[in-house]
Structure 1
C-alpha cells in the first residue's frame, strides 16, 4: 500500500481491511519462539477473519466505548485481539502480560492500569486468562480467552469516526504511576504517515516491502507502533519475538534481521548496548546486516558513543553507520516527534559544557570542555515545536535551552479520566494555542532538535545544571566492576547508585566507591555525597529500558548506608 492510499483511510480498522484487499494471502505477522523458531504465522486474510470473529464476541460482552485490557503473552494472538477491539469500537488497553497469579513484578503496574481505566473486559489466552483474572481480584471485569473464539464467516465491520478513541497507551512510568494517553484513530494515522515521511517508506528498488523485526513489548508505544501498526500501514511482514528472548540472547534479534532481510528495526539505546555487551564475535560471524536501512534509536538523550561503537562493531556484517535513525517522541505524541536524517550520517555536534550548565547553547570544538549531542531529527512540518522557559512558558532565544513543547495532529487527546493532569501536560498556552509539555529540555540548532535532559532529572548543584547521564557515564567508566549507574539529588548532595557485576564480589567496596568519587570530582567538579553500591539488576527500569528515577530516589532513601 502506498502512503497516498493509506492516507485516505478513515480509521485503523479500515486500514487493516484495505491491506486485506491488497495483500490477502501474504504473510502479515510471524512470531519467533525463543527468538529463533517460527512458531506462529498469519496472513492478512486470516488476521481479518480472526479480528472479525473476536469483534463479534466483544460486542456480545460489552458496549462500544468500553475498555478492554489486553494482557496476552508475546505472540500473534495479541494482534488479532487488538484489531478485534478496533473493529468492535472497544477501546483497547495494551497491558503487561503475566505468567502466574502471584509473585510477578508486573502485577502492580497491571492493577494500576485497571484501576485507572476501569475496563469492562480483560483479554488474554486460554493458558493465562485465569491468572490474569485472579490478579484483578474482585474488580468487575469479564474475562475472555481470545484464542478460544471460533473464526466465523460473518461480515462484521465497525463503523468509526476518525476522532473516536482507538486505544489508551499507558506511559512507562519514568516519573510515577502510569497514565493512559488517549489516542484517536485520526491521531494515530497521522503519526503513521509522519513516520513514512520521515523515511520508513521502502525504496522502489526493493520491489516489495521488506520485513521489519521487533522484540519490543507491544504494550509499549514503540513496540505497538513499530511492531504492529506501522507494518500494517506499509504492508510489511512483521517478525516478532519476545523481549525476554532478546534479553537472553541479543544475537537472535540480529540473526532475525539478517535471516529475513529486514530493512527497518528499532530499539532504545539499551537494545544496541546489550548487543555490544553480549553478542560474541562468533555470533557476529555470518550475519548480513547490509539490508538494514533504518536502525531507529531513541533515548533521552541519545549517546554518540553508542552509535559509534555499534557501527564499528558490526561494520564487518555490512552494517552502515548511515543506517542509524536518531529519533525523539513519547506516548503523549503517539510515538514520533522528530527523526533522521534518513540519508547521511547521524548529526552529532559538540557544545560548550559550561554554557549548557548555564542553560545556554554555544558550539565548541571537540575535546575538553565539550559535550557531544546527537540531533534527533527535524520535526515534521505538520507539528509545531517551540522551546520555552519551563516556568514562564515564554519562548526562549535561539541560544538558550528550554522545555520542548509540541503541537499537532499526532498529539494525544489527554490522559484518561484525569482532567487535572491533562490540563497540566497537554494545555500549555503559547500565543493563545495549546501545546504538549514534554517535560524535556532541549533546543533547535541547524534545524535539528537536540534533547538534553528531563526536567525532573536535572542535578542542580550550586547553581549549575548538571545532566545526570554525564555523571552516570563517568561513574560507570571509573571502575571495571560497574555496569550501570543512576545519579539523583538528596537535598543539596548528588548521590550515585551503581550496580556491581557479580564477578567483582570480592573487590573491596571502598576501592570502588573511591574510584567513583574521584572520577566524578575530576570530570564534573563535584564530590558525591554518597556512592551506593547495588547488586546487578537492582536499578528499576521501565519497559523500554529507561531508569525509573522516582523509584531510584526511593531506593536511595532506603539505603542511607
Structure 2
C-alpha cells in the first residue's frame, strides 16, 4: 500500500517516469516525506485518510458530468474497501512493481481497480473501454506490452480476447474479486510500503492495427504533484475542459484524473 504501512519495499525500478520529480526519501511511513507546502500524502494514503475521517462522504468534482465518471457515487469507505480487496488479491499473485492492465469502462470498478494497484505497490495500465463489451483493443494491447495481469469486470471477463495460458485475467468489481467477496478480501489486506518514486501509472496509446505504445511510468509522487496542480486549478474556478487540458499536458489521461482528483478536492 502506498502509505502508512512498511511491510515490504516496492520501489523495484528506481525513479518515476517524469524525471524523478517525487524524489525517493523514505521516512518509515511507506516512503512518503512531507515537503514544504505539501500535505505529504500520495494518492493511496490520501484515500485511506479520507476513508478513516469521512467514510460516508462521496468524492465528487464540481462539474455536471462528475456523477457519470470518476468514482461514480462511491463513498470514500466503499472506494477504499474495493481498493483493499483488489490489493489483497494482487498481493497473493504478483510482486510489488508488477504491471497490471485495467480493462473497464469509466466508473467505480475502474476506480477501485486503479486504487487497488496503488495500494498493492503495482503500476496500473488503464485500457478504458467505451462500453462494457467493447473489448477489441485489449487483446491487441496485451500482446504488445505483456502486462503481468489483467483486471476486468464480471461482464467483460468471458469475451476478453486474451491468451490466458500466457496472461492471468481476473474479474474484479464491487462484489467479488476472482470469486472472493470484497468484504472478506478487504479485511485480509495488509499495507505495503511504497516509495514516492515507485512506478504507479502507465498511459497506453492504442493506434489500432498500426500499433500501440506504452508511455514511461509516472510515479506516486508524480501523480500527487499533478493532482495538486489540478486541485489548485479547481480552487481558482478553472472549468472542466481546461482542467482536463492541464492533466493531458502532464500525461494523465481523462479517466485517471477523474478518479484521482475527486479524492483530492473532496474533504
- Number of residues paired by the alignment? 206
The residue aligned with 2:31 is: none
Alpha-carbon offset, residue 158 of structure 1: 2.3
The residue aligned with 1:196 is: 231
Deviation digits for residues 45-73 of structure 1 (CA, Å, limit 9, x no counterpart): 12111211111111112221111111113
Q: 1:165 and 2:199 equivalent?
A: yes
Alpha-carbon offset, residue 10 of structure 1: 4.5
Q: 1:140 and 2:177 equivalent?
A: no
The residue aligned with 2:255 is: 224
Deviation digits for residues 227-257 of structure 1 (CA, Å, limit 9, x no counterpart): 1111111127xxxxxxxxxxxxxxxxxxxxx
Change in CA separation of 1:129 and 1:5 when aligned onto 2, cut-off 3 Å: farther
2:141 to 113, 121, 132: 113
Aligned counterparts of 1:231 and 1:9: Cα–Cα separation in 2: 18
TM-score by length of 1: 0.33
Q: Secondary structure at the match of 1:228?
A: helix
The residue aligned with 1:123 is: 151
The residue aligned with 2:103 is: 71
Change in CA separation of 1:74 and 1:7 when aligned onto 2, cut-off 3 Å: same
The residue aligned with 1:177 is: 211
- Map 1:425-464; keep pairs closer than 5 Å: none
Q: Secondary structure at the match of 1:17?
A: helix
Aligned counterparts of 1:137 and 1:172: Cα–Cα separation in 2: 19
Cα pair 1:6 1:233 within 8 Å, conserved: no
Aligned counterparts of 1:111 and 1:130: Cα–Cα separation in 2: 12
Q: 1:81 and 2:113 equivalent?
A: yes
Q: Secondary structure at the match of 1:41?
A: coil
Aligned counterparts of 1:51 and 1:124: Cα–Cα separation in 2: 14
Alpha-carbon offset, residue 171 of structure 1: 3.0
- Structure 2: which 5+ residue stretches go unaligned? 1-34, 245-250
Q: Which has the higher helix share?
A: 2
The residue aligned with 2:265 is: 234
1:23 to 54, 58, 66: 54
1:58 to 75, 87, 90: 90
Cα pair 2:231 2:264 within 8 Å, conserved: no
Q: Secondary structure at the match of 1:9?
A: coil
Aligned counterparts of 2:37 and 2:53: Cα–Cα separation in 1: 11
Aligned counterparts of 2:73 and 2:93: Cα–Cα separation in 1: 28
The residue aligned with 1:187 is: 222
The residue aligned with 2:21 is: none
Q: Secondary structure at the match of 2:59?
A: strand
Change in CA separation of 1:116 and 1:12 when aligned onto 2, cut-off 3 Å: farther
Deviation digits for residues 437-495 of structure 1 (CA, Å, limit 9, x no counterpart): xxxxxxxxxxxxxxxxxxxxxxxxxxxxxxxxxxxxxxxxxxxxxxxxxxxxxxxxxxx
Aligned counterparts of 1:125 and 1:5: Cα–Cα separation in 2: 41
Change in CA separation of 1:163 and 1:10 when aligned onto 2, cut-off 3 Å: farther
Q: Which has the higher strand share?
A: 1
- Map 1:193-342; keep pairs closer than 5 Å: 193-197=228-232, 199-201=233-235, 221-235=252-266
* Root-mean-square deviation over aligned CA pairs: 3.3
Deviation digits for residues 129-155 of structure 1 (CA, Å, limit 9, x no counterpart): 1111xx123561111111223223245
Q: Secondary structure at the match of 2:73?
A: strand
Q: Secondary structure at the match of 1:114?
A: helix
1:91 to 118, 123, 132: 123
Change in CA separation of 1:10 and 1:124 when aligned onto 2, cut-off 3 Å: same
Aligned counterparts of 1:18 and 1:156: Cα–Cα separation in 2: 16
Cα pair 1:73 1:124 within 8 Å, conserved: no
Cα pair 2:203 2:252 within 8 Å, conserved: yes
Cα pair 1:19 1:44 within 8 Å, conserved: yes
Deviation digits for residues 23-46 of structure 1 (CA, Å, limit 9, x no counterpart): 22111369x9xx88xxx7321012
Cα pair 1:113 1:178 within 8 Å, conserved: yes
Cα pair 2:227 2:257 within 8 Å, conserved: no
